[in-house]
Structure 1
């Protein structure tokens, strides 16, 4: 096993529409098996764990388990458990940044800042290779701000000028009726799109970093060319075979064919 089920232990969650029961940080989920696999992996959505389906560690679990702690798991080495559970969320954030920077590096229009992006990637990657004590001392908000400044530059380079100025200024789309809406080029950074009706909407070349797509209806929507769209965001939404996605993400198994 490459990962020690760290997301199933280190992270807390509260009983809600996304989780069937409360769990404190550092407490193993009752569905976690002794081999660190999920006992209900194929039934997560039906069992009330949609939050797990939408979660993405970006490879941080494997890195913490196999590289930073050299294969020593928290069960056989309980003295490492608390530290490991604190290290994991930090490394997860760093891996997420690496994922965004990598996508930014692939944007042809961002060639003018390619060197800056490459430096940011290498600096971030180096942080993920530090010893646990050093990782716990990382100023994550400061590093995120540094990376975000570059990602914003890429976003401005990629996105055409939005034609809908009103929607471009909006951030709260909770349950919004946006069927067929033209959102092309709009920055939806951190936007609340929970349960929004986005059927047939044009989301091409939108910046969706941090946008909340939980239960958003993406049937027939066009997200090709959107930037910083993660698999977790897509997994949290509703869609079908008519949804057009960028090549960086896959069609979720629970979407209607």
Structure 2
């Protein structure tokens, strides 16, 4: 397998910028276990309407089956990441008073959580765009968008709930695509296996065998990579924005310089200790035996 870790586009991940976007469940009122609903499926063992507590939720907002979520049929819980929205809403917007203590806050709190999660996810991507671009003007634009979003999150409950999130999302998406084109183009001169593999944004690549391939600079934005075999492949500079990596095989793959990779994507995939990741993402515990997650 060839790697490209020394490539000029392989900047270090913006770890410091993202510290506040990491989940802190101990300072959250289990908003992910209450605000969202889910249907019985391979991901969840039962039906739960939105806005209701999960039956596995304890009085102290902890999960009573946290150490065995996957074998108990709650794989979907292990995939979710709130990008730090939980503690921001619980301790910031609502001052540490839970929906149990103040039932009237339930609706607004859950609505705020859904909004802040989307905004924090945008901040996650913008931090990377600002770090990865070679263009100072693009970096400045990413920083300005981040400031706008940060002010929206900190501007109070009513302005937050009235915010046009879709308009912001469109602006962020345009910025991310521009940076992606710039970063990926730095890999094109060296060529790569993606040039003749038919890989493209939104492609149906479920179950495809790309093992050991040098995919540097490919655009897999929004691609369906469910159960794809990416073992030992080099994904440096690959745009993975919104790509579906459920059950994708990542053992030995190099994602250390992949673009727009998130923890939820990794949590849905399969990997090993040999999988190389960006500095501010972690290997999910279920990637190896004996983790207690099945």
Aligned-partner Cα distance in 1 for 2:40–2:259: 32
Between 193-202 and 85-94, the greater mean CA deviation after superposition: 193-202
Aligned position for 1:126: 151
On the 8 A contact 1:104/1:110 being kept in 2, the answer is no
Match of 2:198 in 1: 167
Give the conservation status (yes or no) of the 8 Å contact 1:8–1:32: yes
Q: What runs of 5+ residues in structure 2 fail to find an aligned partner?
A: 1-25, 290-294
Task: Find the counterpart in structure 2 of residue 217 from structure 1.
Answer: 249
What stretches of structure 1 move > 4 A for 4+ residues in a row?
Answer: none
**Is residue 145 of structure 1 aligned with residue 179 of structure 2?**
no
Count of residue pairs brought into register by the alignment: 257
Name the structure 2 match of 1:78: 103
Task: Give yes or no for contact 2:200–2:223 (8 Å, CA) kept in 1.
Answer: no
Question: Is 1:101 aligned with 2:126?
Answer: yes
**Alpha-carbon distance in structure 2 between the residues aligned to 1:200 and 1:24:** 41
CA distance in 2, matches of 1:108, 1:82: 40
Aligned to 2:219: 187
Checking the alignment, whether the CA contact within 8 Å between 1:195 and 1:214 is kept in structure 2 is yes
Moved more, 160-169 or 56-65: 160-169
Indicate the SS of the match to 2:145.
Answer: helix
Q: Which runs of 5+ in 1 are unaligned?
A: none
Aligned counterparts of 1:4 and 1:126: Cα–Cα separation in 2 = 23
Shift of 1:181: 2.9
Higher relative contact order (CA 8 A, sep 6+): 2
Q: How far, CA to CA, are the matches of 1:110 and 1:16 in structure 2?
A: 45
Give CA-to-partner distance per residue, 1:175-194, whole Å, 9 cap, x none: 22222233211111111111
Q: Of 16, 19, 33, which aligns to 1:8?
A: 33
For the residue of structure 1 that corresponds to 2:154, the secondary structure is coil
Contact 1:186/1:206 (8 A) holds in 2: yes
The TM-score with structure 2 as length reference comes to 0.83
In the TM superposition, residue 131 of structure 1 has moved relative to its aligned partner by: 2.2
Q: TM-score, normalised by structure 1?
A: 0.95
CA shift, 1:27, in A, is 0.8
Shift in Å, 1:57: 0.4
Matching residue of 1:60? 85
**CA RMSD, aligned part only?**
1.6
Q: Distance in 2 between matches of 1:59 and 1:144?
A: 18
Q: Provide, for residues 85-126 of structure 1, a one-character-per-residue CA deviation record: whole Å limited to 9, x for no partner.
A: 112111100000111111122225243411111100100111
